[in-house]
Structure 1
Amino acid sequence: MVCCSRLLLRKYGNFIDNLRVFVKGGAGGMGLPRLGGQGGKGGDVWMVASKEVNLKTIKDKFPHKRFSGAAGGNSSVRSLKGMSGAACEIEVPVGIAITNDNGVKIGELDKAGDRLLVARGGHGGSFRSNFEPSKGQNKMVRLDLKLIADFGLVGFPNAGKSSLLSKLSHAKPQIADYAFTTVKPELGKIRYPDFKQLSVADLPGLIEGAHENKGMGHKFLKHVERTKQLLFVVDVHGFQLSNKTFYRTVFETIQLLTLELELYKKELLSKPALLAVNKMDLPDADNKFQALLDQLADPQKHLQSLSSDLIPSHQIEFRHILPVSAHMGTGVSQLIACLRTSIDEEAELEIQDAAQKKLESLQTSPFGTKKNTSSLSP
């Protein structure tokens, strides 16, 4: 059995997950009229992904939140072609989506070193070609942080996600018997004996109606988009947000979680998923867990008794279903092993899929027709 030495948890203080900044390309330089020179191009503005910064770093270091490329140099007698203006490079966190003020995506930066041009510098003036120098592009852009992790924890408030992380590590996330004890994303690393590391994102709890931006709403769901796999964490005794809301059984809870993901973006249901059924130390937990297994084995049979507004159009097939007790620590080592197994299985499937696509491309001619691989008849 695979085990880990520790899950290291990094908590975000004063967490910022979006930032709006102004970017402006440098203006082009003037051309020399008498000799027909050409001005230098204005400097571009680039965003470069770095693991050394976060959005709070940018906000604190650049309170004005304005970034500009340098102006291009003017043409002169000594240099008929003016120098290009210096580019402006803004270091941003890995896992950033950049959009304009209208919400149109400009690009994403998913790994360290990725670069994205966000504002072009203006072209230099040229009297030989009879055109004036131009100003650089300028715009407001939004930086939207979507956490990248191998696993995203999905569960309603009080499901025990923070408690589960506290058993996997020596960290002490905020834990209490009331809703929304996790209000800021927390990232951690599971380190295995063979030095393999898996990242886990413990995200703010969601509630019914999250797809309509209720509660943490889209703030939660957008982070789920950028996790490779999902780890559902549910209370074996079900869930009730308050005495003013409906009680949901554990089976209904899973349906609601699935429905919220589906209504926000149905592609989320295509992610590999595992299920951790928590609080197995409480009375009658074994009977409730066995009943859940029976329901998940034949969900259509049991969905008939549920209200239609609780039923997603697709059911998630969990790769692993594990009973755990975050309070007692039971089942944690099995969970850690299953997380590793699931990631390794998915990596193997990706390798096989890539090999199959490469084989298909080799079997296809440049004209789009299949090569005849059969032997020629005499």
Structure 2
Amino acid sequence: MFVDSVEIFVSSGKGGEGAVSFRREKYVLNGGPDGGDGGKGGNVYFQVDNNTDTLSYFRGHKHFKAQNGQPGLPRNKHGKKGEDLVIIVPPGTQVFEEDTLLLDLLEEEEKILFLEGGKGGLGNTHFKSATNQRPTYAQKGLLGVEKKIRLELKLIADVGLVGFPNVGKSTLVSILSNAKPEIANYEFTTLIPSLGIVNVGDYQSFVIADIPGIIGGASEGKGLGLEFLRHIERTRFLLFVLDIANYRTLKEQFATLKTELENFSSKLSNRPFGIMFSKIDTQSEGLQMEENEESQSLEKRVEEFLDTFGFHLKRKESLMFVQKEKEDFGISYDFNAPLFVVGVSSVSGKNLESLRFLLYSSLKDLNAQK
């Protein structure tokens, strides 16, 4: 089961008490104090593990406590330090205390000290003085630190898919990548986010994220969008998937999605993006026929949509537009407009390779502009 937000209690270990002890040996008269110090309490660490991809473990485990330090011993022997607690989390986990972000855990094998254990108490040997040769007291160990925290998982991906339910996002991810999301012909088939690795050639790849469909009002809690919108906050590039065969117009789909993103996060709504028209195979017969109403209607709808940005299809037969070609002196994009627009059929495979290249090329160009 996918779990992306849990509340847990964590506490570091308590320091051990100092010992009250006096040296007692044969032939040693009036042996002085020799109580050892208590051991330090165990620390609490968070560690990132790429082999973990969910917070489901924490559903059945709510309390996490490092080991207490052991009391001091006679003969000035220190108590044993408490064992540290290492909490394993997947990359992309954030740690909150109420609404305050404490940690943002991203790097593999990253291990960060979160709570320090309590200091062990001093034994009575530390309190010997000229006026007090026989101290009968020692320090108690300091208490550990306890916090109630919230763990949130935000998936780390290069490309995030944004679209209404049942527009072909899961099918696209299953074909482009190694991910196997559930696919069915009804809305909200995708109930949990999924990541897939898209290979480009033998040595290049990028990560694509499929999230549940967004509907109007998602930023206010309608549908499943609000719960999972945060998973595309980390994505560097957004791909808007607009369904050619949907009862909503292309403009309506795009405008609604843009509005919901902006209401959720203005930073997210300003990410570089591309636009993909899905299911163009549903009208492929009309495209192959001579100038009939169906092919004219499809091309006209796409042209009208692009007029919103003042663009025109570069290759009408492929339903493709690229905002700007590479130049010798760098690349400059207008991020208020799509970097590319392309029509794709996941069933027939039309323009799938072009989309793969456009996504990889856009990410590569964005990296060059950092």
TM-score normalised per structure 2: 0.77
Give 2:249's aligned residue.
Answer: 249
Please, which of 285, 292, 295 is the counterpart of residue 298 of structure 2?
Answer: 285
How many angstroms does 1:112 deviate by?
Answer: 1.0
**Equivalent residue of 1:231, what SS?**
strand
Alignment size in residue pairs:
311
Give 1:110's aligned residue.
Answer: 106
- Structure with the greater alpha carbon radius of gyration: 2
Q: Point out where structure 1 has 5 or more consecutive residues left out of the alignment.
A: 1-13, 240-247, 299-313, 351-378
Cα separation, 2, equivalents of 1:342 and 1:233 = 16
Cα separation, 1, equivalents of 2:299 and 2:347 = 16
Structure 2 matches for 1:110-259, cutoff 5 A? 110-126=106-122, 128=126, 132-169=140-177, 173-239=181-247, 248-259=248-259
Give 2:88's aligned residue.
Answer: 91
**Equivalent residue of 2:236, what SS?**
strand
Give 1:28's aligned residue.
Answer: 15
Give 1:58's aligned residue.
Answer: 57
Cα separation, 1, equivalents of 2:9 and 2:306 = 53
Structure 1 238/170 Cα, relative in aligned 2: closer, same or farther at 3 Å?
same
Which string of whole-angstrom CA distances, capped at 9 and with x for unpartnered residues, describes residues 293-316 of structure 1? Answer: 112227xxxxxxxxxxxxxxx983
TM-score normalised per structure 1: 0.76
Aligned-residue RMSD, C-alpha: 2.4
How many angstroms does 1:163 deviate by?
Answer: 2.2
Q: Point out where structure 2 has 5 or more consecutive residues left out of the alignment.
A: 21-32, 128-137, 284-293, 312-333
> CA contact under 8 A between 1:19 and 1:55: conserved in structure 2?
no
Q: Are 2:71 and 1:74 aligned?
A: yes
Cα separation, 2, equivalents of 1:66 and 1:202 = 32
Cα separation, 2, equivalents of 1:131 and 1:210 = 57
How many angstroms does 1:82 deviate by?
Answer: 3.2
> CA contact under 8 A between 1:32 and 1:75: conserved in structure 2?
yes
How many angstroms does 1:144 deviate by?
Answer: 1.1
Which string of whole-angstrom CA distances, capped at 9 and with x for unpartnered residues, describes residues 181-204 of structure 1? Answer: 211112110112241121111111
> CA contact under 8 A between 1:71 and 1:85: conserved in structure 2?
yes
Which string of whole-angstrom CA distances, capped at 9 and with x for unpartnered residues, describes residues 183-231 of structure 1? Answer: 1112110112241121111111111111112111322211011212111
RCO higher in structure (CA 8 A, sep ≥6): 1
Please, which of 336, 346, 353 is the counterpart of residue 333 of structure 1?
Answer: 353
Structure 2 matches for 1:37-56, cutoff 5 A? 37-55=36-54
How many angstroms does 1:66 deviate by?
Answer: 2.5
**Equivalent residue of 2:239, what SS?**
strand
Structure 2 matches for 1:332-371, cutoff 5 A? 332-350=352-370
How many angstroms does 1:232 deviate by?
Answer: 0.9
Give 1:11's aligned residue.
Answer: none
Q: Are 2:23 and 1:15 aligned?
A: no
**Equivalent residue of 1:321, what SS?**
strand
How many angstroms does 1:84 deviate by?
Answer: 2.3
**Equivalent residue of 2:159, what SS?**
strand
How many percent of aligned residue pairs carry the same amino acid?
Answer: 36
> CA contact under 8 A between 1:38 and 1:81: conserved in structure 2?
yes
Structure 1 172/23 Cα, relative in aligned 2: closer, same or farther at 3 Å?
closer
Cα separation, 1, equivalents of 2:70 and 2:84 = 13
Specify the code of the residue in structure 1 equivalent to 2:2: F
Cα separation, 1, equivalents of 2:182 and 2:44 = 40
Structure 1 82/170 Cα, relative in aligned 2: closer, same or farther at 3 Å?
closer
Structure 1 315/195 Cα, relative in aligned 2: closer, same or farther at 3 Å?
closer
> CA contact under 8 A between 1:258 and 1:316: conserved in structure 2?
no
> CA contact under 8 A between 2:273 and 2:339: conserved in structure 1?
yes
